[in-house]
Each structure stands twice: as C-alpha cells, then as structure tokens.
Structure 1
C-alpha cells in the first residue's frame, strides 16, 4: 500500500490480511455517497486525493505542500507556516470521517482514517459486531519492537530513582487529598443516587492503565498516568468522571459487566504502557459502553532521556484529555450523534449544551434564538446548573455585541450576561466555562484588566481547554497584543480544530492588523461563517486592502444587509471591543476605504 499507515490492531483474528485496493475504493465510495459524510467539496477532494495516492504507492508524497498544490490549487511558493489551509481542512476531514463512522458507518467492513501527525490515510478492517467475550480485548496494538532497540536493556540508575520519587510524590498527594480535580469527581449518596446540580452530561470511566512490560517502572508509569488522566479530565466540567476509588477497584482487564450499573457510565477510556531503556509508549482508546465500539485510538511516544518524568506524564495525560474531553472532542461528538436521534422538540437540559456548541461553530441568529430559549428552560429547571448559566451568559452577550434577537424591556443584555456569568462562578468557582463567560462579559463591560486576571486563572486551572484558549486569545488580540493572541489561537487550532472557522476568522483579522495581507486573505477564505455578520465586515476590509475589489464589494453589501445600523455608532462598537487608539484609527480608515458609511 505504498507506506500508508495500515493499522492491523483493528483486524479480527480470522482476517489478518490487509484491505485490498478494490475493498478500499468500495469503502471510499460508500463514505462519499453517504449523507452522514458532511463535508464540503474541497474536503471530499482532499479525501479522494490522499486515498488514491496511497493506493498508487505514493503515500510518502502525501505532504502539506503536495496537497496544497494538487488539491487546493496553491502556487509553488506555498509555505505551510503562513498558510494553514491543509492543517485546517485535515481537521475538518478527520471530524467528518469520525461523524460518518459514528452514524452511518458503524457496520462498514473497512475503516478509512487520517491519523494525526501526517496526512497519509490509514486503512483497516473493522469489527462489524461487538466482541462476545465478557472481557474486552487488550487495547494495544500487536507487540512491536521495543523502543530504543539495541540500547541498554535496563533503565539508567537515575531513571529508577526519579520514577520512585514520582511514585512517592503521587502517593503522598493522594494520601493528603491534594491531587486536584479527580478525587471523588463523581460522588454517590447512599443508595447510589447522584448528587448533582443539573442534568447528567456524558459520563466516562477511566480504566486503570495496564503495564505490558511487567516491570516495576512500567507499573509506576501506569499508575501515574491513570491518576493524571483522571485529574485532567475532571477539569472539564461538562464531563462526568467516575471517581478514583471506583476506578481503583477495577482491574485493567475488567469488562463492562464489572462496572456498577448505577454509575451510568457511557464511555470507557483505557490505555496501556510499555517502557524500554529510554522510551515510553502509551496506547489509549475510548469505547462506547453498550457496544464496545472503538470511537478513538491513539499512540503517544516519549523520550525518557530528558529526565523530566513528571512533565512527560502530565503532557501525555493533557494530550489525552484535550482530545477526548473538549467541547468539540471525541466524547461530545459521539453524544451529539445520540442527540441527533432524539425528537426535534426535545429540550432536555443536557441537549442544550450540545446545541450551544453547535451554535458557537456557526454563530447564526437563527440558532441563537433556539439555544437561548433552551438554556433559559434548563436553568429554570436546574437553578444550580453552573455550566448552563455560563452558556446563557454568552447568549445574552451576543444579543448586545452581534445584535442577535435582542429582547425588549428588562435589564440590558450586557447586564444579564454579566450577572449570569457571576452566578455560574458563584455556583462553582472552578468551572472553566463560568470563568470564561465572566472574563468575556467583563471584557465587554470595559474592564479588560479584570477580565484578563480571570482569564489567566482559568487558563492555569485547565491549559488544555481549547474553547477557553480560543476565547482568551481573541480578547488578548483585540486589546492590542496581537502576537500573543495569535499564538493562543494557533495553539487552540493545533490542539483541536473543532471550531476552526472562528479561529481562522480571528487569525485573519490579526494578520490584517499586522499588515500581512496575503495571509489575511488565505485565512478569511477558510473561515466558513457565512451566517455571522461580522465575518462579512472583516472579509470586506481584507479583500479591498488586497485589491480584490469585487469580493470586497460582495462582502460589504452582505454585511450592510445584515447589520444596516452598525455604523451609527461605529467608534462605540470598536471601543466596546477594547481596540486601542492606534488600532481604532486603522480600522476606521480601512472601513472607509472598503466603502462602508463611516460617519
């Protein structure tokens, strides 16, 4: 298959051969013809190109440069550092494939995926029926050559002592109850009733990581990773994490029947550890509980020669948590597919959170009204549902900053947004979504210094939350620090491209402000936010500055159609967003140049 990453770990025991070219092409046609493969034409061209290149034996040619030229029509001077189109569209393609296999493709015989870290496709046979054994199969790939083969077989003395010190540190923290976040993340009352404020979100159980090597060092790594993954997952308050004591009572090979039914577990995260003289390999995967279908699997490798053992454990756990628990991550995508099967008028409180993230991805006035109504019902039913209050704060704020469905009478929208955010933080002072909402509301009420203090605190609590990273980066950029703001947005995009349209739009504005016209044009064309009025305003500025008058005129007309009164108080709109004096002058001149009716 020309070097394509063919994953054998998904092959049933009676079918150890790899998919043939005709089987892969049949699967490609199945995917492309399905209504559940929700992807634009450029993403479909991307998929077709990489599959055919791999089948032709040219997988080693599948690089960002060749994809940019042959799929997206970029010129020969394409530079991936300045034009992230391939990375963004690869993220969209991965999400489209994940959605397809969660919905229409569960029983398909062959899987096609684009593993992170590259663009060459992976082909594998799929299990079309869940395993009949009580104990699920071991979550690792078949044995592979040990890392560091040919090196000394035993760890260096300092490595043994460092690992031992880490184990003592973990044990001490656990004993003192200071290992933050994961301890009793799921508390049960006598009789198994859940003590909660608000409806249940998706629940996940972290099975103890298994040590494949059977060595003492591997056991310490496995225990440390189990605890750290629990801790990092528990920081995502939309997720329900089964507590440490329950997790410790299970073995790494425990089956679904060994998990207490009253926990209501919907997803299981499991992993394995293998160590060598200087290397660590960690395999992880997420399974849907009732079907044992593998929703996601990934391998992490780390070099142990740096001596930063704690940093390695925290970094690997953070990568797992950010991929799995993000609002646009693996578990929420699976839960979204479940929600799509419910009745359209289902206003269950948890469904509101899924609809909120759908709204944030498109930023349309139509979605805004429906989600706001849904969340107001949710907090009326669950007044201590802190996450719903935080989301409602954003909906109220959008009434003011985007003029989406403003309500007549009552307190102004900005006041309702600030109070809802404060209420969320009063309920739970460590709720990241509440802190994010409070930061944003304070920013729009003219208190950027306090907003950034709140934002830094939230970032310290959970540096892996890309929803927070994107919002914080946006606020930092608009306040004048375009360099740091862009770096935060780029980091959010790298970690999880689930909200890539918003990230690309903000990065386009940042490039425009920094006088990088070519990059601004590239990015604004990737920001698919056609229902979002401000998108068309920014697009008009960028196109006209780049000499693309016709495109600029279309964007200008569309924005004025959507927001005809925006320029009645244009300077106030810029001040509300905390543009500095120099940036404000630049934006005003650019708006006049683009033909907008600036007073």
Structure 2
C-alpha cells in the first residue's frame, strides 16, 4: 500500500526504528531553519524549550507557568491563569508545525507536532510510502546510550478529550505479575488493579517512613474511588484464576520511593497486563510534601476523572469488556458539554444496569448522565423534572450499592442541587473535596455549579485551582471568571475568557458573548454570537428565563443577561 503516514509504534518495540535523541534534535534544527520559523524568535524559543525538556526527561515541567518563566521571562509572581501569552503562542506554534509537516510530506523522517490543548510535543516516525498512522509518545524516546527509565507523567489533549501519552518502553515486570494475574477474582465487573508492595530504592529514614505511610494509605485511597477492584500483593494467593478475557481488564501498580535522592522522589508506574505495556507513570517530590497529599495525588492521577486507567480503558478499542469501556468513557464525558456524548452514555449505562442491577458504579454514572439530560432538556424548553426524578432514583441505587465512593458522592451532590437541597449539596461537596483533594476536574465542576448561585469567591478559587492543576485540559474552568466579569460589567475580559474556555458546543458560551457584545454596543458581534446560539438551541429566547430558573441562577444575574441581549435588539 502507498500513501503518506507515520510508522505504527503503538505496540511494537521502539528499538526496531531509527528514532532517537540525535534524530529528534536534527529534525528540530531543520524545522527552526525553515521558512516557517523565519523571523519568529518567540516560536523558536518555545519549540526549542519544550523539545529539550522532553529529551532531557523533564516533561512534568511543561506547564504554562514554567513556560511563562523560562521562555517568556515572566516574573516569578506572574498569573499564568489570566496571562494568555503561553496559550496564544502555543496556538501559533501548532499551526507553524502543521505547515512545516505538510510542506515536508514527500520526505521520510521524524515529525514534531503539538496536539491541541497540550504543551507536550509529539514525535512521529514518518514514512512517505506508508498508510499506517499512530502517534509516538514523547516519553518513549530511546537515548543514544542506554539509561535507566525516566519517570515522566504526560497528559496530552486531542480535541475535547485529554489523552494520556502511553509509555511504550519494553516491560520487564510482566513475567513477575503473571503469577498474580492467574489468581485474580473471576467474573469481576470492574477493572482489577494489582497493587505491588511499596518499596524504597536506597535507604534513608525519611524514605522508610514514607514507604510505611504510603503502604498503609494507598489501597484505601484507591478503593475510595469505587471504580476498580484493588488487590494487594498479599491478597492475591487467596483469589481465583483469571480467564484470558479478564486479563484484558487487569492492571498492575508499582510505587517506589527513591531514598538515594535528596528529595525522596516517589515514583509510580501503571502496567496494562492485557497489553503487556506500561500505560502511565508519574513522580512526586517526597520532601516538603505532605504524605497524605502524595497518596491523594497518586490515586487521582490513576483513577480520577482524567486518570490514567480511565483514559486507557475509554480509548482501547480492543478491550475485552465493552461495559468497562462504557463506564470509563462516561466518567470522562462528565467534563464535556456535548448532547450526543451524554446521550450515548445514557444508552450504554442503561443497558449495563439492566443486565447488572447491582452495579453501583454504573448507577452513579447513570445518575450523572441524567443530570446532564435534565440540564439539556431545560435548555431546549422541555420539562427537566422527569430526568431529575431518574437522576434521583439512580443516585439512591448507587448510594445503596456503593456508598461513599467518588462517583456516588458526585451523583448525590448534583441530585441535591437539582432538587433544591443546597445545604446537602454543600455538605457532600465538602466531603468530596476532603476525600479527593487533588482532582482538578471535581473542583472545577463544583466551581461551575456554585457560580450559578452567585458565590463567586468560592467559584473563582476552585476554578483557579482546577485550571492550574489541570493545565490546558481544564480550559472549561475559565467560565466562572467569564460569568463573574460579565456580572461586574467587565465585558471585554469576560469575552476573552469565554473564548479561552474552548467550549464551542456549550450554548452558554455564545449566549454570554452575545449579551456581553450587546452591553458594549457592538451589535454586529452580538448578532454573530446569537446565530451561534441559535444553531445550538433554536428559539432559546423563548425559554431563557425558565432555563436560568431551573439552573438556580440568581434573578438579578438573569436580568443582566437579558438586558445585554435587548441592547443588541436580540430580545
């Protein structure tokens, strides 16, 4: 077969291909010397910095704040949340790389690209005469001289979804875990997470104490999410035998504390047993960090809304269990304002609970999906209450079958909000934040919800934390800022944050843009935004009041939106 493409490296040994540090650096220089980067010093500095950070094993440094300091020489106290220079330049860099790669389509070799929503470069091994196409994660770059594996956590985004870069290094540990897998419980409805013994590499008193704390707290922290069956190594001998099918839904987690390092670095690595591949890894500095925070960070990175395991299961088209794929995708879709995605989640989750009525995780996710259904119904002028009742019933079943877990608590929280029990909403939200302290998407969703009530001090604090921790995958959490600025008559800044939210399918974005432009007297721009709204919600002006009332938006805020639309002649 012929045609342009990149060599598929996803499940093959990297050593079979000519992709290494030298070839990547050579390509970098070719790109920077091309016409696409002529007289573009800022783009050159940006690209050189992010590529060298990957090559030197520092992908965890690729955050907007660090790039602002190192590339754009911002002051150490600069506000990465409100200063958009990194984001704006990243968009320009992405387009320049795309243009360069297109102009080089007839030439074999390494390609460098930047996915939307990420500052982590992606490397392709391109073959002009091949049809195959897959991405090579940057953590997979082999060195010219072999070195120990680097522990690098990489999250990258593709469109609306935040994708986890797969770690494709050869796995030596699989043979050791094969015996564990053979004894895992049969018929499991959730993924199995095999938790190996936490060990220290090198010895120090602080490291040994940290190992003891993590060993004691990590399993309960992981189990608290309720979306996996956690099995510690000493439990495996009492379990039954796994079938080949169940092996495809089994993962193994290794955690080590580097006592030989000055900072007692805590490393974790997640192995997908079914594919015999490392699919996630990360590190946390032990010294100076509260041990409880370290445990919470590991658990969130693996099982949170955009955790490594959820991402892998949701994107694995060859997974043995379609139920697990549905559950993982539904968990991640909680972030997205997309009617079709939410409808698909309701369909597959309804099928699961019909076949597995004791599946508490599925009931919790179904309740959250019905929450979105009620919001959508209200925005279309339909009665949301039938969906609220379904949401409440599903939350009650989840609370009976899987009480106190991550998703059940969210189901209870949003149900309480929709039925007007705001004191219960606050109580459950506080418990969630206490138990799952480092999930930025949870903070962001709570912040978005309380912003409707006008509690902007709380909403903005949560939004800033979510944005900082989620980096570009948390763009949606600019919305509380946009709402606050609109209601405080800072219309230009509100419009900027509405654009920065990257939520084109969420009807509230063009609605607030139309109202903001109307308030500024810019009828042309207001009309353009209004047309975008009408494409998403035809005739929305007829039920704006009822929609805002259902969403518990304060009446004075509703009036301010309506006044902005009236100034533009839209209502």
Equivalent position to 1:213, from 182, 194, 202? 202
For 1:259 and 1:97, locate their aligned partners in 2 and report how far apart those are by CA, in whole Å.
Answer: 41
Shift of 1:434: 2.1
For 1:545 and 1:68, locate their aligned partners in 2 and report how far apart those are by CA, in whole Å.
Answer: 33
Equivalent position to 2:310, from 302, 320, 332? 332
**Counterpart check, 1:461 vs 2:435:** yes
The question of whether the paired residues in 2 share the 8 Å contact of 1:91 and 1:497 is answered with: no
Shift of 1:537: 1.3
Specify every segment of 5 or more residues in structure 1 that has no aligned partner in the other structure, as ranges: 1-11, 31-43, 120-125, 137-185, 251-257, 305-310
2:82 corresponds in structure 1 to 82
Equivalent position to 1:388, from 342, 362, 385? 362
2:222 corresponds in structure 1 to 233
Aligned length: 485
Distance 1:246 1:70, change over 3 A: closer
For 1:381 and 1:83, locate their aligned partners in 2 and report how far apart those are by CA, in whole Å.
Answer: 50
Alignment of 1:104-253 (within 5 A): 104-105=135-136, 110=141, 129-131=170-172, 134=175, 193=185, 199-200=189-190, 202-215=191-204, 217-243=206-232, 245-246=234-235
Cα displacement string for residues 503-555 of structure 1 (whole angstroms, at most 9, x for unaligned residues): 23344323433444454333222222222322321332344456765443222
CA RMSD of aligned residues (A): 5.0
Equivalent position to 2:552, from 578, 583, 593? 578
**Counterpart check, 1:93 vs 2:67:** no
2:287 corresponds in structure 1 to 303
Cα displacement string for residues 244-266 of structure 1 (whole angstroms, at most 9, x for unaligned residues): 7427x89xxxxxxx997578472
Cα displacement string for residues 123-171 of structure 1 (whole angstroms, at most 9, x for unaligned residues): xxx87644499459xxxxxxxxxxxxxxxxxxxxxxxxxxxxxxxxxxx
The question of whether the paired residues in 1 share the 8 Å contact of 2:122 and 2:136 is answered with: no
Equivalent position to 1:273, from 257, 260, 276? 257
For 1:118 and 1:347, locate their aligned partners in 2 and report how far apart those are by CA, in whole Å.
Answer: 24
Shift of 1:477: 1.8
**Counterpart check, 1:504 vs 2:505:** no
For 1:51 and 1:357, locate their aligned partners in 2 and report how far apart those are by CA, in whole Å.
Answer: 31
Distance 1:590 1:552, change over 3 A: same
The question of whether the paired residues in 2 share the 8 Å contact of 1:103 and 1:337 is answered with: no
TM-score by length of 1: 0.66
Moved more, 503-512 or 467-476: 503-512
**Counterpart check, 1:417 vs 2:406:** no
1:253 corresponds in structure 2 to none
Distance 1:468 1:28, change over 3 A: farther
Shift of 1:364: 2.0
For 1:418 and 1:45, locate their aligned partners in 2 and report how far apart those are by CA, in whole Å.
Answer: 54
Distance 1:70 1:549, change over 3 A: farther
2:328 corresponds in structure 1 to 354
For 2:384 and 2:461, locate their aligned partners in 1 and report how far apart those are by CA, in whole Å.
Answer: 39
1:22 corresponds in structure 2 to 23
2:536 corresponds in structure 1 to 562
Say which SS state the counterpart of residue 496 (structure 1) adopts: helix
Distance 1:395 1:291, change over 3 A: closer
Shift of 1:56: 13
Say which SS state the counterpart of residue 544 (structure 2) adopts: helix
For 2:350 and 2:418, locate their aligned partners in 1 and report how far apart those are by CA, in whole Å.
Answer: 22
The question of whether the paired residues in 1 share the 8 Å contact of 2:55 and 2:141 is answered with: no
2:40 corresponds in structure 1 to none
Shift of 1:361: 4.1
Distance 1:411 1:350, change over 3 A: same
**Counterpart check, 1:428 vs 2:402:** yes
**Counterpart check, 1:528 vs 2:559:** no
Shift of 1:561: 3.0
Distance 1:418 1:220, change over 3 A: same
The question of whether the paired residues in 1 share the 8 Å contact of 2:346 and 2:369 is answered with: yes
The question of whether the paired residues in 2 share the 8 Å contact of 1:208 and 1:222 is answered with: no
For 1:127 and 1:439, locate their aligned partners in 2 and report how far apart those are by CA, in whole Å.
Answer: 39
Say which SS state the counterpart of residue 334 (structure 2) adopts: helix
Distance 1:381 1:55, change over 3 A: closer
For 2:192 and 2:418, locate their aligned partners in 1 and report how far apart those are by CA, in whole Å.
Answer: 34
For 2:333 and 2:54, locate their aligned partners in 1 and report how far apart those are by CA, in whole Å.
Answer: 38
For 1:99 and 1:438, locate their aligned partners in 2 and report how far apart those are by CA, in whole Å.
Answer: 44
The question of whether the paired residues in 1 share the 8 Å contact of 2:456 and 2:480 is answered with: no
For 1:488 and 1:330, locate their aligned partners in 2 and report how far apart those are by CA, in whole Å.
Answer: 23
Distance 1:543 1:97, change over 3 A: farther
Equivalent position to 2:511, from 532, 537, 540? 537
Moved more, 367-376 or 560-569: 560-569
Shift of 1:381: 0.8
The question of whether the paired residues in 1 share the 8 Å contact of 2:498 and 2:513 is answered with: yes
TM-score by length of 2: 0.69
